[in-house]
């Protein structure tokens, strides 16, 4: 769901909160080393660790983290901050809002899909073959009511009453459009 840049920005924003300039500089150096290590591992091939099976993604995340840590360091230097405060980081805050909006959109779409799937599980789709005589009756009744035969049959099905003894009946009704 998130790109390597999104992951890096989120993690750096959380980890940098309250860090002094010296600690941020240390994180920049650490990210540079990790970027180099994961890029080398990617060139050699194979999994980076037993927990990380996608070396390309890990290398992309560390490259993005290195970029983000440098951005935070440069922002702190330009603004003269002694400590990083995520709320004061306008660019980082905008990215965080965008990520949260995308996440909320994805979650809403997933919830809507699940609701449609649950509703679909309650639906019954059937193909009905009637002999000539009942078919003519259904077509004639549908024609008089001004509805399609399939609509008339659906309205009949909606009004089915099952008695205690298992008998099935439909009380008289007037089909509607």
How many structural domains does the chain have?
2
Residues 110 and 150 in one domain: no
* C-alpha of 74 from chain center: 34
For the segment 156-175, what is each residue's pLDDT rounded down to a tens digit?
A: 999 999 999 999 999 999 99
- The domain containing residue 147 runs over which residues? 132-169
Bigger pLDDT: 73 vs 46 = 73
How deeply is 132 buried, as exposed, middle or buried, from its count of CB atoms within 10 A (0-12, 13-18, 19+)?
exposed
Last residue of a domain, one of 84, 101, 122: 122
pLDDT at 127: 86
Looking at the structure, tell me whether residues 85 and 163 fall in a common domain: no
Residues 97-144 have pLDDT tens digits of 999 999 999 999 999 999 888 887 777 778 889 999 999 999 999 999
- The answer to whether residue 96 scores a pLDDT higher than 80 is yes
Residues 30 and 82 both lie in one domain: yes
20 and 47 belong to one structural domain: yes
- The string of pLDDT tens digits covering residues 6-41 is 999 999 999 999 999 999 999 999 999 999 998 888
- Over residues 43-50, the mean pLDDT reads 66
The pLDDT score that the predictor gives to residue 48 is 55
- 176 within some domain: no
Contact 31, 65 (CB under 8 A): yes
Nearest to 72 by CA among 123, 21, 143, 141: 21
Q: What is the pLDDT of residue 51?
A: 56
């Amino acid at each position: 769901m998130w790109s390597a840049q999104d992951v890096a920005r989120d993690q750096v924003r959380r980890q940098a909160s309250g860090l002094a300039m010296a600690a941020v500089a240390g994180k920049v150096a650490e990210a540079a080393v990790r970027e180099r290590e994961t890029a080398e591992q990617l060139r050699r091939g194979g999994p980076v660790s037993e927990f990380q099976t996608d070396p390309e993604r890990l290398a992309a995340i560390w490259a993005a983290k290195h970029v983000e840590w440098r951005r935070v360091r440069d922002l702190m230097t330009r603004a003269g901050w002694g400590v990083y405060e995520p709320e004061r980081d306008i660019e980082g805050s905008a990215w965080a809002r965008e990520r949260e909006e995308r996440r909320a959109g994805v979650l809403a779409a997933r919830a809507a899909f699940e609701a449609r799937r649950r509703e679909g599980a309650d639906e019954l789709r059937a193909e009905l073959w009637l002999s000539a005589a009942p078919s003519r009756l259904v077509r004639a009744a549908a024609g008089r009511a001004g509805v399609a035969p399939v609509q008339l049959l659906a309205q009949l099905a909606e009004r089915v009453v099952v008695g205690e003894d298992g008998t099935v009946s439909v009380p008289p009704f007037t089909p509607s459009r």
